[in-house]
Structure 1
Amino acid sequence: MVWAGAAVYLLMVGLLVGGAPRASGTVHGAGALLAASLLAGAVRRAPLPALGLALLGSTAVVVGPPTSAHESPAAAYQGEFLSYLAVDVVLGFVVATRARRPAVVAVAVSFAVQLLVTGLFAHGDNLTVNGLIALLAMAASCTAGLLARERREHAAALRTQEVAEAVTAERLRIARELHDMVAHSIGIIAIQAGVGSRVIRTQPAEAREALSAIEATSRETLSGLRRTLVSLRQADRGAAAVAPLPGLADIERLAAATADAGVRVEVRHSGDQRPLPADIDLSAYRIVQEALTNVVRHAGTGQCRVTIDHGDEELSVEITDDGRGGTGNGSGHGFGLIGMRERVALLGGHLSAGPRPEGGFRVTARLPLPARVGVAR
């Protein structure tokens, strides 16, 4: 179908070339310009061959028909200009879509042919003016093609940047999830393993409890890892359902697991407890989980307190302990505080973490809440 249009174009050019000699150059040029519309399909599929056909047809129309004796030089040049106008349009498309080297060759060939034909068939003093007009028309088409190319390349670069940023954000999200989930469990397992190894001969009952805690924590961690991997492998949201993500409703279970590691956790709730958006609920849970992990690993204390305040406009989570405290920037806690700050920043909240004047360490996260949510997660 594409090349059928090209064949019809050549047929139309043949009719124009063999037409009545009394027709003016303007009529021949307009006919060539209209006939070039038949090359639209070929221009999309094969711009360079289409440019060659347009250049051949336009040149044949300009050179072929005999000039009427009564035709003015201006009318003759109008025919030349209209004939090559289609070539300039195709040339602009070539510049916009083809590689740089083929585009430069196409521009050079088109300019040479038009300059040669204009020079041979211009009338008297019109040679310079006609050549200048043809050059300006070609420059305009090439400029339009270059602008279209730059716009397309800029859009492609933006899409590439967006994809890269999305990939980076997803990698950071996965890293935070894995760190918050694994670090807490591994910390508890390490402590329980140490306790079990010390009392396995003198206190077998406590050793069995430590081993039971290690088994339960390991199974829970394995379940969380499996849930994460399954969610990553899901091709779409309609895939098989997985276990729900943890939230503030699971804080008591988290506190119990932390107590098995030797740190008793006192949980306090205040305000109007209500269903929260999934991202806020999960982030609040992960912040508490990471803070408790740091207490177990670094504080050197046997107790801490978790305060959760459900305000009208924000959710406040505070974890305090009376242990050894720590550095204000949290550099000694690896990526834990970094992950917490990233979570809070993504939700537009505020996180503060540092030693307390009276001793110990405090982590406070304030997460803004949307309007009252009546639908549970």
Structure 2
Amino acid sequence: MPATPSAPFFKRVTPGGWAAVAWGAGMVFTALLRIRVPGQEGPDVLPGFVILRWDGLLMLAVGTLLTLRGSALLTRRPTAALTYFLVAPVIASTPLGVTAVPFAQYLAVDVALYAIAAARPRREAWRALLLALGLLVVYLAVRVLAGWPAGTTGTLAVALVALVAWLLGRSEGQAREYAERSRAQAAEQAVTAERLRIAREMHDTVAHSIGIVALQAGAARRVITTQPEAARQALGEIETASRETLAGLRRMVGALRTTEPETATEAERAPYASVPSADLPGLPEMPGLAALDRLAELTGNAGVRVAVRRLGAPGPLPPDLDLSAFRIVQEAVTNVVRHSGADHCTVTVDHRDPESLTVTVEDRGPVPGHARVSTGRGSGYGLTGMRERVAVLHGEFSAGPRPGGGFRVTARLPLPTGATTR
């Protein structure tokens, strides 16, 4: 599999970093307004005498330090960070000789408003907006009450920009919340669909077992008086089939009663995933691990070679466990064909542990010139289905990138007492 791409540059910079950049840009813009740049007869704004003194420069430095402090806190403590961002433009505006808080000094506040509105709860976002707009109102009111000139129009423009930044942040936050709810709902639907599929397969398994029980019972009834030994053997097979069916039903029903399904993690979804695969033509109606060679042959026709390795001596398995192990391998191999770009993969079936069965499917990553069947990253719900099958059998499931490249899926399925492999 290809290495996970790094985040874009704009995503790697933290909101606090962008706020610091906005403050620096505002300071540069403020300086450019107060000097003569090429093409102008003079500066757009007279610098005033305070900004040229040591106390004016000190106020600008204090405003910068407050902004940097707020930038450091914006991710962890956004409300405290916003306080620093709001105090900084008030202090920095004093030596500029302006009648309102300038737009350039409020850029960092706009960035903070956007970040808070996008990532924080609605109540906290509204509180941040009220604080930002309230500061502008208070600053304007103080100048009016003191009899000083007040830049009402400029203040309205600054407030409008702050409101737009906040609205953009809320829009992004709501879009992210909707996407998360949609992913959670889709994952829940995938789990439900997999459980229904498991239930259908269990129904077929139970019907097959009951059919065997009925046939053996009829044979035992006919020969019980003339061939007691044959009747005893038939009754023993009836007992074995009944116990295996009952154990499978208990495992399935116990797992399907769970109301909180486990879903795949983001790390598992990221490399590749798939939608649940349909049964391939040419496989048995109720396949098991014995059909892996046939699965490898059919997958080879799709352009991906599958090597099947068996460790230890295979032994009899309960029908539900045998079927689920095959389905896990089938889904993992389907992932390789659709999304990995690999030209071969390895399926390992480990029977060496007398208390569990372990199946592993791994590939070594994409091969140049070997196209993926599906170029998208997938939904991640194929992994969710595999995890659900393992959960039904009370096993352990893991999926993630291999150290040397590629991807690995591993499922460890505990064997019921009395059904160990030999």
Scaled by the length of structure 2, what TM-score is found?
0.42
TM-score, normalised by the number of residues in structure 1: 0.47
Greater helix share, structure number: 1
Q: Which has the higher contact order (CA 8 A, sep 6+)?
A: 2
Work out which of the two has the higher radius of gyration on C-alpha atoms and give 1 or 2.
1
